[in-house]
Amino acid sequence: MKAEIHPAYTADAKITCVCGNAVTVGSTVPAISVELCSACHPFYTGKQNLVDTAGRIDKFSRLAKAKTDRAGVGSKKIKTAKRAVAKAAKKASKA
């Protein structure tokens, strides 16, 4: 390895969060400050809020309910069968 090209390693670098939590780790930077840590991040604390943007969850629920309510009404097999019956009736009326 070449000498003097690597940064100096600090074994007791301190990471401080805005919430006041402090952690000591090894780093090439002696002090690091962060806005979020595992002690204050909503995902890790369980205080996470699910934001229902423009009612998307409600819209999905309505569409899913509507689909189960009309199961089979608009299926491709039924439409194909109706077309076949109509075609046969038209053919029979010509003959």
pLDDT digits (tens, 9 = 90+) for 42-75: 777 777 776 666 788 888 888 888 877 766 666 7
- Banded pLDDT at 3 (limits 50, 70, 90): confident
DSSP state letters, the chain: --TT-SPPPEEEEEEEETTS-EEEEEESSSEEEES--TTT-HHHHT------GGGHHHHHHHHHHHHHHTTTTT-HHHHHHHHHHHHHHHHHHH-
Give the domain ranges of the chain.
Answer: 1-47, 50-95
Predicted TM-score (pTM) of the model is: 0.44
Residue 16: the pLDDT is: 95
Q: Write out the CATH class of domain 1-47.
A: few secondary structures
Residue 38: the pLDDT is: 84
